[in-house]
């Protein structure tokens, strides 16, 4: 297995650089490049430019590694390591000028298939706050040098986060899911970036997170952050086009799973 600390350092370095570019382009003004699955599912020129930067840096540093990016697709690995990248997670926030967006970079052992990969290293950069969440398998998760740990006690109820898909037809079902989980909650947040949601669970800023329909690049890095912070991440309905992901401390993860996975 590749040196996870080297992979973590590389992911961190590139995430910082990519985060700086994303923030610079935001300040210069953002232009819509295209829409994808629905009119609400947008991609900006910055998304594409940031992914080109990330992909070229990785290619230069580790030729032969595989790649899966939200905007430029995939390439198989000849080294056993694959990079799973969301150049700007929280694209709608980014386009509106809201600060809750992130650069998410993960290195996995195996192909870019969450059902079979082993996450090795992760970096999630929050450019506006200047925060960098990182993890390496078996080495813990960190925020700017401070070790992270999930919350394990929720005496006043859990602070939960979730998200909704770009297809309005899925909103009723997602709201029904929220209703099923709310008896566990003290309150609910909808941040708009899965990578930040997962980073915040790892940092104890959220108690738990659940969302249907995430893509591998949305959660590849954040899931390792949660696991390396003592949390549990699971997915079910993985054969469907909208698998459910749940991330929390072990006890809360079990309580959410009992309510949702049935
Ligand atoms: C987003 C996720 C978010 C989800 C959005 C969207 P994108 O990713 O981070 O949690 O609710 O629907 O999928 O599209 O900004 O990379």
Distance CA(187)–CA(1), nearest Å, equals 41
Distance CA(222)–CA(200), nearest Å, equals 9
Give the confidence band of 205 by pLDDT, cuts at 50, 70, 90. Answer: very high
Contact between residue 243 and residue 235 where contact means Cβ atoms under 8 Å apart: yes
Q: Indicate if ligand 1 lies below 6 Å from the C-beta of 163.
A: yes
For residue 36, is pLDDT > 90?
no
For residue 35, is pLDDT > 90?
no
- The pairing of strands 118-126 and 131-136 is antiparallel
Contact between residue 225 and residue 232 where contact means Cβ atoms under 8 Å apart: no
Distance CA(156)–CA(106), nearest Å, equals 34
* Average pLDDT rounded to a whole number, residues 168-174: 96
- How many Cα atoms within 13 Å fall on the side-chain side of residue 69? 22
For residue 1, is pLDDT > 60?
no
3-class secondary structure for 114-171? Answer: CCCCEEEEEEEEECCCCEEEEEECCCEEEECCEECCCCCCCCCCEEEECCCCCCHHHH
Give the number of other Cβ atoms within 10 Å of residue 234's Cβ. Answer: 17
Contact between residue 103 and residue 15 where contact means Cβ atoms under 8 Å apart: yes
Closest CA to 7 of 64, 82, 70: 82
- The pairing of strands 42-44 and 66-69 is unpaired
Give the distance (Å) from ligand 1 centre to CA of residue 194: 6
Give the number of other Cβ atoms within 10 Å of residue 254's Cβ. Answer: 13
Q: What's residue 37's pLDDT?
A: 81
Q: What is the pLDDT of residues 44-53, one digit of tens each?
A: 899 999 999 9
Cβ contacts of 243 within 8 Å, gap of 6 or more: 212, 213, 214, 235, 236, 237
Distance CA(117)–CA(95), nearest Å, equals 32
Q: Indicate if ligand 1 lies below 6 Å from the C-beta of 51.
A: no
Contact between residue 5 and residue 136 where contact means Cβ atoms under 8 Å apart: yes
For residue 158, is pLDDT > 80?
yes
Q: What's residue 261's pLDDT?
A: 79
Q: Indicate if ligand 1 lies below 6 Å from the C-beta of 211.
A: yes
* Average pLDDT rounded to a whole number, residues 236-258: 96
Domains by residue range for the chain, with CATH: 4-147 (3.30.540.10), 158-260 (3.40.190.80)
Q: Indicate if ligand 1 lies below 6 Å from the C-beta of 218.
A: yes
DSSP assignments along 170-238, one per residue: GHHHHHHHHHHHGGGEEEEE--S-HHHHHHHHHHTSSSEEEEES--HHHHHHHHHHHHTTT-EEEEE-T
Locate the ligand 1 atom nearest the alpha carbon of residue 191 and give its number: 10
Q: Indicate if ligand 1 lies below 6 Å from the C-beta of 90.
A: yes
State the chain's mean pLDDT as an integer: 95
Give the distance (Å) from ligand 1 centre to CA of residue 42: 10
Q: What is the pLDDT of residues 210-241, one digit of tens each?
A: 999 999 999 999 999 999 999 999 999 999 99
> By mean pLDDT, which of 51-55, 73-77, 86-90, 180-184 is the weakest?
73-77
Give the confidence band of 2 by pLDDT, cuts at 50, 70, 90. Answer: low
Q: What is the pLDDT of residues 102-133, one digit of tens each?
A: 999 999 999 999 999 999 999 999 999 999 99
């Amino acid at each position: 297995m590749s040196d996870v600390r080297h992979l973590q350092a590389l992911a961190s370095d590139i995430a910082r650089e990519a985060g700086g570019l994303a923030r610079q382009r935001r300040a210069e003004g953002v232009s819509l490049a295209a829409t994808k699955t629905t009119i609400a599912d947008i991609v900006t020129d910055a998304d594409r430019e940031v992914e080109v930067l990330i992909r070229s840096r990785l290619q230069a540093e580790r030729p032969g590694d595989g790649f899966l990016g939200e905007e430029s697709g995939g390439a198989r690995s000849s080294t056993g390591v694959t990079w799973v990248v969301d150049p700007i997670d929280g694209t709608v926030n980014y386009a509106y000028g809201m600060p809750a967006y992130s650069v998410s970079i993960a290195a996995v052992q195996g192909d870019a298939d969450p059902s079979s990969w082993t996450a090795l290293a992760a970096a999630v950069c929050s450019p506006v706050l200047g925060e960098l969440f990182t993890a390496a398998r078996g080495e813990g998760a960190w925020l700017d040098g401070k070790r992270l740990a999930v919350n394990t006690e929720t005496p006043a109820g859990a602070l939960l986060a979730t998200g909704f898909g770009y297809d309005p037809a899925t909103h009723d079902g997602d709201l029904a899911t929220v209703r099923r989980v709310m008896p566990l909650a003290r309150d609910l947040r909808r941040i708009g970036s899965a990578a930040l949601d997962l980073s915040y669970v790892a940092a104890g800023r959220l108690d738990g997170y659940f969302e249907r329909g995430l893509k591998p690049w949305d959660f590849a890095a954040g899931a390792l952050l949660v696991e390396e912070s003592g949390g549990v991440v699971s997915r079910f309905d993985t054969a469907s086009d909208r698998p459910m992901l749940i991330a929390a401390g072990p006890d809360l993860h079990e309580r959410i799973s009992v309510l949702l996975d049935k």
